[in-house]
Structure 1
Amino acid sequence: MSYFKRILAISTLLCGVSGFSQQINVVQNSFWLQEGYDRTLTIKDADYAYYNIDNANCKAFVEGNFAGRFSVVSATDSLLVLNPGGIVDYRFRRINKLPALCTETAVKDPSFEKNFKIFWLTFNDNYAFFKERNIKWQQVYKDYLPKVEKVETEQKFAAILREIVQEMNDGHIRLEIPKALNPKVTQTVTKPSKSKKEVIADLQQKYAENMKSYNDGVIQWGFLKSSKTGYIIINDMNNFADYVPASEQNSKDFIKKYETISTTKVPLKMFEDELNGVEKIMKIILDDLKNTESVVIDLRFNGGGYETVALKLLGHFVSDNKTILSVKAKTRLGFSASQHYNLVPAQNPYRKKVYVLTSHNTASAAEIFTLGTLSYPEIVRIGSPTAGIFSELLWKELPNGWEFSLSNEVYSDSKNKSYESVGIPANYEINYPKERTALYDSFYSSNGFTDKALEKVFLLEK
Structure 2
Amino acid sequence: MVTNNTALPQLAGALSEQHRNDPSDSIKELTMKPLTSASANEIWPRTDSSRLALKPLAAALLGATLLTACGGDDDNPAAIENGDFVGNWISAEDGQALKVESNKVTSYQYTAGHCLIDQSTTGNQADLGKQGWTLNTDNTSLTLKTNHLGTSYIDISYQKADELPAQCADDKLLTQYFEDDFEADPARDYQIFWDTFNEYYPSFARRGVDWETINSTYSGQISNDMSEPEFFQVLAQMVQPLQDSHISLENGDAEASFMRGETFDDRLLAEFLESDQVDGAIDTDAEYQAYMAYIGTQYQLMNEIRTSYATNDIQQAANDELLWYKVEQDGSSVGVLIINAMDGFLEDADEAENLAEIKADMDALETAIVQVLTDLKDTEGLIIDLRDNPGGHDVNSQVLVRHFLDTERTLYSKQSRLGNDRTDLEVIRLSPAELTYTKPVVILTSPMTESAAEVFTMAMSALPHVTVLGERSQGALADTLEKQLPDGTNFTLVNEYYLSSDGDWYEGQGIPVAAEIPFMTLEEREEEEDLGLETAWEAITE
Q: How far apart, in 2, do the equivalents of 1:84 and 1:315 lie?
A: 15
Q: How far apart, in 1, do the equivalents of 2:80 and 2:175 lie?
A: 39
TM-score normalized with structure 1 length: 0.84
* Equivalent position to 2:198, from 124, 131, 140: 124
Instruction: Compute the displacement of 1:458 (Å).
Output: 2.9
Instruction: Compute the displacement of 1:269 (Å).
Output: 1.8
* Equivalent position to 2:354, from 244, 267, 274: 267
Conserved? CA contact 2:114–2:174, under 8 Å: no
Worse-matched range after superposition: 144-153 or 212-221: 144-153
Task: From the superposition, tell whether residues 88 and 9 of structure 1 become closer, same or farther in structure 2 (CA, over 3 Å).
Answer: closer
| Uncovered stretches (5+) of structure 2, i.e. residues with no partner | 1-51, 67-78, 177-182, 257-281
- State yes or no: 1:50 paired with 2:142: no
Instruction: Compute the displacement of 1:51 (Å).
Output: 2.0
Q: CA-to-partner distance for each residue in 1:128-160, whole Å, 9 max, x for gaps?
A: 110110110011111111122486322222111
* Equivalent position to 1:224, from 300, 315, 327: 327
Instruction: Compute the displacement of 1:363 (Å).
Output: 0.4
Q: CA-to-partner distance for each residue in 1:175-196, whole Å, 9 max, x for gaps?
A: 01222799x9743354823454
Instruction: Compute the displacement of 1:91 (Å).
Output: 2.8
Q: How far apart, in 2, do the equivalents of 1:115 and 1:12 lie?
A: 24
Conserved? CA contact 1:84–1:90, under 8 Å: no
* Equivalent position to 1:319, from 406, 425, 441: 406
- State yes or no: 1:103 paired with 2:170: yes
* Equivalent position to 1:192, from 284, 294, 297: 294
Task: From the superposition, tell whether residues 179 and 444 of structure 1 become closer, same or farther in structure 2 (CA, over 3 Å).
Answer: same
Amino acid at match of 2:416: A
Q: How far apart, in 2, do the equivalents of 1:233 and 1:423 lie?
A: 20
* Equivalent position to 2:496, from 404, 409, 414: 409
Conserved? CA contact 1:232–1:295, under 8 Å: yes
Conserved? CA contact 2:200–2:419, under 8 Å: yes
RMSD, aligned CA: 3.1
Conserved? CA contact 2:80–2:103, under 8 Å: no
Q: How far apart, in 2, do the equivalents of 1:162 and 1:22 lie?
A: 41
Instruction: Compute the displacement of 1:346 (Å).
Output: 0.9
Q: How far apart, in 1, do the equivalents of 2:437 and 2:533 lie?
A: 20
Q: Tell me, what secondary structure is at the counterpart of 1:258?
A: coil
Q: 2:531 aligns to what? A: 452
Instruction: Compute the displacement of 1:294 (Å).
Output: 0.7
Q: How far apart, in 2, do the equivalents of 1:5 and 1:61 lie?
A: 20
Q: How far apart, in 1, do the equivalents of 2:249 and 2:208 lie?
A: 21
Identity %: 24
Q: CA-to-partner distance for each residue in 1:58-88, whole Å, 9 max, x for gaps?
A: 2132532314433316242543343278823
Q: Tell me, what secondary structure is at the counterpart of 1:389?
A: coil
Instruction: Compute the displacement of 1:13 (Å).
Output: 7.5
Amino acid at match of 2:463: Y
Amino acid at match of 1:457: A
Q: 1:165 aligns to what? A: 239
Amino acid at match of 1:322: R
Q: How far apart, in 1, do the equivalents of 2:455 and 2:311 lie?
A: 26
Instruction: Compute the displacement of 1:111 (Å).
Output: 1.7
Q: How far apart, in 2, do the equivalents of 1:286 and 1:297 lie?
A: 12
- Aligned 1:133-148 pairs, distance under 5 A: 133-148=207-222
| Uncovered stretches (5+) of structure 1, i.e. residues with no partner | 245-256, 433-438
Query: How many residues were matched structurally?
Result: 428
Q: How far apart, in 1, do the equivalents of 2:327 and 2:311 lie?
A: 4
Conserved? CA contact 2:481–2:495, under 8 Å: yes
Conserved? CA contact 2:305–2:529, under 8 Å: no
Q: 1:369 aligns to what? A: 456
Conserved? CA contact 1:386–1:425, under 8 Å: yes
Instruction: Compute the displacement of 1:89 (Å).
Output: 4.1
Q: 1:248 aligns to what? A: none
Q: 2:9 aligns to what? A: none
Task: From the superposition, tell whether residues 50 and 153 of structure 1 become closer, same or farther in structure 2 (CA, over 3 Å).
Answer: closer
Task: From the superposition, tell whether residues 423 and 158 of structure 1 become closer, same or farther in structure 2 (CA, over 3 Å).
Answer: same
* Equivalent position to 2:338, from 233, 249, 255: 233
Task: From the superposition, tell whether residues 83 and 102 of structure 1 become closer, same or farther in structure 2 (CA, over 3 Å).
Answer: farther
Amino acid at match of 1:449: E
Q: Tell me, what secondary structure is at the counterpart of 1:313?
A: helix
- State yes or no: 1:294 paired with 2:385: no
Conserved? CA contact 1:35–1:91, under 8 Å: no
Q: Tell me, what secondary structure is at the counterpart of 1:228?
A: strand
Q: How far apart, in 1, do the equivalents of 2:252 and 2:114 lie?
A: 21
Conserved? CA contact 1:69–1:84, under 8 Å: no
Instruction: Compute the displacement of 1:442 (Å).
Output: 5.9
Q: Tell me, what secondary structure is at the counterpart of 2:294?
A: coil
* Equivalent position to 1:70, from 105, 121, 132: 132
Conserved? CA contact 1:5–1:61, under 8 Å: no
Q: How far apart, in 2, do the equivalents of 1:46 and 1:212 lie?
A: 49
TM-score normalized with structure 2 length: 0.72
- State yes or no: 1:82 paired with 2:144: yes
Q: Tell me, what secondary structure is at the counterpart of 1:323?
A: strand
- State yes or no: 1:428 paired with 2:515: yes
Task: From the superposition, tell whether residues 15 and 306 of structure 1 become closer, same or farther in structure 2 (CA, over 3 Å).
Answer: farther
Amino acid at match of 1:231: V
Instruction: Compute the displacement of 1:378 (Å).
Output: 2.0
Instruction: Compute the displacement of 1:440 (Å).
Output: 6.9
Amino acid at match of 2:339: I
Worse-matched range after superposition: 55-64 or 287-296: 55-64
Q: How far apart, in 1, do the equivalents of 2:170 and 2:500 lie?
A: 41
Q: How far apart, in 2, do the equivalents of 1:139 and 1:424 lie?
A: 29
Conserved? CA contact 1:73–1:83, under 8 Å: no
* Equivalent position to 1:91, from 157, 160, 163: 157
Q: 2:349 aligns to what? A: 258
